[in-house]
Amino acid sequence: MKKQFLMSTVLVATLILGVMTVNAFDDTANTNKIPLKDAEKLKSIIPQTFQETDALIAPIRNRFLLWTHDGKHIMWGFYGGGYFSGTDNLGKQTWGIYGKGIFAGFYDGNFFYGMYRNGNWRAIYLFNEKITQGRYVTFPSIITLPTPVATG
Tens digit of each residue's pLDDT (9 = 90 or more) over 65-87: 999 999 999 999 999 999 999 99
Q: Where are the domains of the chain?
A: 31-139
Please, are residues 144 and 40 in contact by the beta-carbon 8 Å criterion?
no
DSSP 3-state assignment of 21?
Answer: helix
Let me know if domain 31-139 sits in CATH 2.40.50. Answer: no
For residue 117, give the nearest of 34, 26, 30, 28 by alpha carbon: 28
Tens digit of each residue's pLDDT (9 = 90 or more) over 11-47: 444 445 444 444 444 444 455 566 667 778 888 899 9
Q: Which residues fall within 8 angstroms of residue 10, CB to CB, at 6 or more apart?
A: none
Tens digit of each residue's pLDDT (9 = 90 or more) over 126-151: 999 999 999 999 998 776 666 667 66
pTM of the model as a whole: 0.71
